[in-house]
Structure 1
Amino acid sequence: MPFGMTRNVMRPTDTPRADRVTYIELFFDLVFVFALTQLSAYLYENQSPLGVLEGVIMVCALWWAWVSTTWVTNWLDPVTLPVRGAVIGLAFVSLVMSVSIAEAFGERAWAFAIAYVILQVGRTAFIVWATARHDLAVSRDFTAVLAWTVASAVLWVVGALLPLPWQLPLWALALGIELAGTLLAFPVPGLGKVRLDRWDLSGPHIAERTALFVLIALGEGMLVTGFVFAETESSPASVAALVTAFATAAAAWWIYFDHGERVGAETIEASDTPGRLARTAYTWMHLPIVAGIVVISVGDKDALAHPHDHDVAAAIAVIGGPMLFLAGTVLFRHLLERRWARAQLAGVLALALLATAASVLDTLTLSIAAGLVLTGVAAGETVGRVRRGRRAGG
């Protein structure tokens, strides 16, 4: 019998369902609220050079797992029962991966690696099977993706079985293979390269899905801050840290959602190569945005727990998180609008100047100053949008 799913489960085109974010996709996202909470806690407990390297791998792995699933549900219709069942299964595997984060470089390395491999390989194999009879070009493209994913999967599993000195470089190499595959268009002998220029995607769907993940990351930060504040004895310093954390999150929301989120959907819809543009804008440019938000939550926790300390690691989190976030939004906006967002660039410069004073300012003061920078960027961004006659996006 011919290979492939008999039923056509691809998203319908030219209907409201083509752009709709479904409830089952939001259910899948719920797992990543916990995942980001675990990641934030891990980064807070491991503020060292080794911890930073491990954290980079964790951030990239979580983001890659989520964004790759988002691409698949842009092709396939989650309303159909087979796809809905697959998304639920992927959500469970993501939960196993999430509960393993705290010991991913310890006793639960094997659990994290196996869950990640099942998620990546299983999801890619599913779309190959689901599209084989209904869109051969898509099936061939994802067959090439599957070949690269399997190659990296071997390194994930082998790395989990070896001691940490081997685990870290092998996992970094495994991630590198997956990321390189995306940059090189997944070349495979006999199949050629993936033709991103012929991918016809739903711009509004992928833009909304990614925006919702940014919102989840911001919510995770406030969740962590709230838990820490509830366990901390009330004082002027703790209250100031809580207010600053909320103001920072609100400013980050404003910077992202006031204008940029809507521009993404519009630009992709108007593009002649939506697949290539979406890959760069949402797979790559959003990685520093999400990573920055996660690091911001670590800095908020530092300011709450040790407001009067002069700690290098805390200073890096407090200043580095907003700087990562702004750098990501600058690149994202430049790609979409072909102009540099002046307010964000000014914010990056202000944070760089703030870093020069980090040695003489305590953690809380640095946090307040960084929050004021983001608030100023949000205000400047809105003023610029109004002058250009653009409406608000969120």
Structure 2
Amino acid sequence: MFGSRADLQRVRRPNEHHRVTFIELFFDLVFVFGITQLSHALAAHLSLVGALETGLMFLAVWWAWIYTCWFTNWLDPGRTPVRVLMLALMLAGLVLSISVPRAFEDYGLKFAVAYVCMQAGRSLFMLWALRRHNPGNYRNFQRVVSWQILTAVLWVAGGLSHDGFRLVFWGMAILTDMAVVMIGFWTPWLGRSTTADWNVEGAHMAERCALFVIIALGESILVTGKTVAELQATPGVMIAFAAAFLGSVSMWWIYFDTAAERASRSFVTTTDSGRMAVSAYTYVHLPLVAGIVVTAVGDELALAHPDGRTEAKVAAVLLAGPALYLFGDLLFRRATAAPFPRSHIGGLAALAVLAPVSLTLSPALLSAAVALVLAGVAASEAIWLRRARARATA
């Protein structure tokens, strides 16, 4: 039933795109819940410390997901052993997501153990699957496991700690997890990997990351709908509702109208797919997705209290979410050799202009102004593209 280990690797044929499988989409359902939990955690702890804690948990959730994206890029999810592991990872991911709201309280060890089980379990499976069948990638995962043993100690130590020590241990752990990729998982005696060693099927990874953006946008729609359903239809609520919807549509348009497809084509044709997978998708998608999560929190706050003057922390969230998103999308376009997005610079400048007057506006009006900025960026992108196509066909 389980077949040989050689059968677990994807067969790579020239110009063939590995479609995203149903088990991968099923796996992603856990992260719909995880993103929702992160949004609720930030909304409930809207402070500098709360933002740091939520940001750290967001990095852990993203890192657990993106490593699985790499995993299914190399191994075939249609094979039973891979599929069974995906289901086990789903269970650990569900525990991870359940633990988010109380990860810095009494669920710290649950969060840490779930994360370590996902990362180490997946990497050990890769060693088993690749041994004698892919020496280069097998050596790469020896390096990966070596580093994950170190960070596992930090994660568990953080889970057992209290007060600020948990934040320190987990901060060291996630920063190490992120930094070692940039140094090719350098390990004594084993050396380091290069991006040329990481043979990535570009279209598959691009599609997987685009689907994660959809997950994050879907979470924002979910939060908006749930919040509005519990409120009376006052003018302030209706303005905030329209702004939240317009903002979500604009963010979808900015990423999916041209950027995602153009980046995928660039990914497929690049001579160093590993480098693009690391830069444009593993790292650069972080601020982009974080921006969607923070924007969803801002929408929820504006809907809950649409009238009166905006508090400083609410204004910060309403402005920071779209700014993170535009900055992330700008970096994404540059990392995939797209033309420099001047519209994004204009959008970031407009958000900066809004900042000094944000405390004089109501949350609903500030939310509407921010949504109009995002809509302006999306519209200018569409107009520029139409003109570029007209010049190309002239």
Task: Give the TM-score taking structure 2 as reference length.
Answer: 0.96
**Native 8 Å contact 1:124 1:146 kept in 2:** yes
Corresponding position of 2:163:
164
Matched ranges for 1:147-158 at <5 A: 147-158=146-157
Corresponding position of 1:307:
306
Mean Cα displacement is larger for which, 260-269 or 23-32? 260-269
Q: In 2, distance between residues paired with 1:16 and 1:44?
A: 45
Q: In 1, distance between residues paired with 2:93 and 2:311?
A: 34
**Native 8 Å contact 1:12 1:18 kept in 2:** no
Q: In 1, distance between residues paired with 2:273 and 2:14?
A: 18
Mean Cα displacement is larger for which, 111-120 or 338-347? 338-347
Q: In 1, distance between residues paired with 2:30 and 2:387?
A: 40
What displacement does 1:269 show?
Answer: 1.3
**Native 8 Å contact 1:347 1:374 kept in 2:** yes
Mean Cα displacement is larger for which, 230-239 or 168-177? 230-239
Q: In 2, distance between residues paired with 1:99 and 1:76?
A: 28
**Native 8 Å contact 2:216 2:293 kept in 1:** yes
What displacement does 1:16 show?
Answer: 8.4
**Structure 1, residues 143-168: CA drift from partner, whole Å, max 9, x if none?**
11111112111100011101122100
**Native 8 Å contact 1:8 1:131 kept in 2:** no
**Native 8 Å contact 1:100 1:109 kept in 2:** yes
Corresponding position of 1:385:
385
1:330 to 2:369 alignment: no
**Native 8 Å contact 2:239 2:365 kept in 1:** no
**Structure 1, residues 38-88: CA drift from partner, whole Å, max 9, x if none?**
110000010001101101101111111111110111001101111111111
Paired AA for residue 62 in structure 2? W
Distance of aligned partners of 1:5 and 1:113 in 2 relative to their CA distance in 1, 3 Å threshold: farther
1:209 to 2:205 alignment: no
What displacement does 1:133 show?
Answer: 2.1
1:264 to 2:263 alignment: yes
What displacement does 1:135 show?
Answer: 0.6
Corresponding position of 2:80:
81
Task: Give the TM-score taking structure 1 as reference length.
Answer: 0.96
Corresponding position of 1:43:
42
Corresponding position of 1:127:
126
Q: In 2, distance between residues paired with 1:199 and 1:348?
A: 35
Matched ranges for 1:1-394 at <5 A: 6-14=5-13, 18-308=17-307, 309-337=309-337, 339-389=339-389
**Native 8 Å contact 1:109 1:160 kept in 2:** yes
Q: In 2, distance between residues paired with 1:167 and 1:66?
A: 22
What displacement does 1:18 show?
Answer: 4.6
Q: In 2, distance between residues paired with 1:56 and 1:198?
A: 31
**Structure 1, residues 235-259: CA drift from partner, whole Å, max 9, x if none?**
1111111111111000000000001
Q: In 1, distance between residues paired with 2:359 and 2:223?
A: 26
What displacement does 1:17 show?
Answer: 7.0
What displacement does 1:283 show?
Answer: 0.6
Paired AA for residue 134 in structure 1? H
Q: How many residues align?
A: 387
Distance of aligned partners of 1:105 and 1:193 in 2 relative to their CA distance in 1, 3 Å threshold: same
**Native 8 Å contact 2:5 2:130 kept in 1:** no
Paired AA for residue 216 in structure 1? I
Unaligned runs of 5+ in 2: none
Q: In 2, distance between residues paired with 1:198 and 1:147?
A: 18
**Native 8 Å contact 1:131 1:139 kept in 2:** yes
**Native 8 Å contact 1:11 1:75 kept in 2:** yes
Residue aligned with 1:375, SS: helix
Distance of aligned partners of 1:282 and 1:6 in 2 relative to their CA distance in 1, 3 Å threshold: closer
Which 4+ runs in 1 deviate beyond 3 A? 4-7, 15-18
**Native 8 Å contact 1:100 1:108 kept in 2:** yes
**Structure 1, residues 99-128: CA drift from partner, whole Å, max 9, x if none?**
010100001111111000000111111112
**Native 8 Å contact 1:315 1:358 kept in 2:** yes
**Native 8 Å contact 1:74 1:202 kept in 2:** yes
Residue aligned with 2:360, SS: coil
